[in-house]
Amino acid sequence: MINFVKHFLKATGIEPKPELMLVDVERLYSDTLMLSSEIRPWAVIDGKYAALELRLEFAEDYLKSQGDFDFINTNYYKFIDKYTKDGFKNGYDGNWNYAIINPDDICRRYTALIRSVLKNIELYNNLNKDNVITSIKSIYDDIIDFEKRNKRDVFYIRENRKAQQKENEQYRSDKTYLRSTANKRLVGHLIPSAVAYKDNIVIKNGSHRLALFKALKDKNIFKNKLPIYVVGKLSNGLYKRSTGRKKT
């Protein structure tokens, strides 16, 4: 099995030297929104990481309505539905190898994430660099159960087929084993991963979580900085590899 992370890092020039940081959500959101063309050119429309902006709007709508929330009416749902039908010609949400294709599943997954974070908001509000790993591990069983219940469909760009997200398969394993390897799974699952870009930081994996915490910070529900792993440095001009789809 190809280790996609190592392949990705090698192909893009990112140096794998993870560093745990707590960063300002406002700045991180702004950098990721405006500086994502090097990370995900397929997702950048009119100079912005389109799906990130729509995820923020989705989270804001959920926090306003909650009990009356209908994700089918959200612009995020419509965005995924549209690019799936138009053949991914004008940008999509995913990565080099796949696009997310089922708006129902991904929106249910996102609402489940919102509920999970709200349930544990005091934990997130009390995180610091000394307790972050221990604290996050304390809800790791919830994440295992979350992943089992909230799978998503993807469309593999090169292979032209639908499949379940590969990472979900690991959560069928014994919980004892999953707990013992939790340190490796924290990056990108519970703690977003990012790359340094010039004097800025751009989220690589975990942008649903970034948009959610931005919405929570705006409503003064989240009152802390966001823990992230900076997994390397990105230089100009490294993303020249074609995905076989039109760049936006």
Distance CA 143, CA 128 (A): 20
Which DSSP letter does residue 234 get?
Answer: E
DSSP string, 84-125: HHTTSTT--SB-SSEEE--HHHHHHHHHHHHHHHHHTHHHHH
pLDDT of residue 7: 47
User: For position 176, what pLDDT does the model report?
Assistant: 73
Predicted local confidence at residue 153, as pLDDT: 79
Give the residue extent of every domain in the chain.
14-234
pTM here? 0.82
Q: What is the pLDDT of residue 82?
A: 93
Intervals of the chain under pLDDT 70:
1-17, 66, 164-175, 177-185, 188, 235-248
Structure confidence at residue 240 (pLDDT):
30
| Tokens read off for 184 | 């490796």
User: What span, in angstroms and rounded, lies between the C-alpha atoms of 127 and 25?
Assistant: 14
pLDDT score, position 48: 95
Side-chain-side CA neighbours of residue 143 (13 Å): 19
3-state class percentages of the chain: helix first, strand second, coil last, to nearest 5: 50, 15, 35
Which pLDDT score, from 0 to 100, does residue 9 have?
A: 47
Model pLDDT, residue 181: 66
